[in-house]
Amino acid sequence: MKVTILQFPGTNCEYDTQHAFEKLGATTEIVWHKSQSIPRDTNLLVVAGGFSYGDYLRSGAIASFSPVMKAVIEYANKGGKVLGICNGFQVLTEAGLLPGALKRNDGLHFISKHHHLKVISNDNVFLEKLENNDVLNIPIAHHDGNYFIDNDSLKELEINNQILLKYTDENGTIQNPNGSVESIAGVCNKEKNIFGLMPHPERAMELILGSDDGIKMLQGFLK
């Protein structure tokens, strides 16, 4: 299993992501944003979290025009699996690879803490190791994590089982930290090969650090 991880100026989670997947037995490679291609043996492409280009203009907006994104879009359109975490989720929405947009948190403050999530749809390779309604404890760290989508597109997400995760409390009751529409924490595309979420499963790999619930999330990609 080969996991390729994108690195932009301002990315700060690429090594956490590398550690997480290598802990699960994958080989990894970090690719700089100026690359014109991604490795041919890539089985999963991860757009890691951080603050690409300092979040100038709009989170993920400048990164979506980086040279490597042409190869990312080509890879995704051919059915390649892509995972965007936090800022990576923002990049994928800005590039048009995932529906919706991420805007400033309702409280206008940066949020950094563990937060519970409920699995809404495991009908995909990402969450297939989990059961619907499972509750996970995963760190969040974002200023622009407020997921927005219009009502008609929201209905499409629901019909196509594209809503992956929602923010909840430990009992699975909705608890929205940032104002996201329907408390959405993660979505996928209709074809279910492109995934995005604001929480950081790569930071939930060790019980000593608060949770290892990220293991089951990321294991779905390992065949």
Catalytic residue annotation: 86, 200, 202
SS3 content of the chain, % helix, strand, coil (to 5): 25, 30, 45
Q: Could you tell me where the DSSP H helices lie in 44-202?
A: 68-77, 87-94, 151-159
- Residues whose CB falls within 8 Å of the CB of residue 97, separated by 6 or more in sequence, listed in order: 72, 73, 76, 82, 84, 189, 194
**CA–CA gap between residue 212 and residue 210 (Å, rounded):** 7
- Which token pair is 87? 């800022």
User: What residues pair up with 136 in beta bridges, in sequence order?
Assistant: 117
Contact 202, 170 (CB under 8 A): no
**CA–CA gap between residue 184 and residue 138 (Å, rounded):** 14
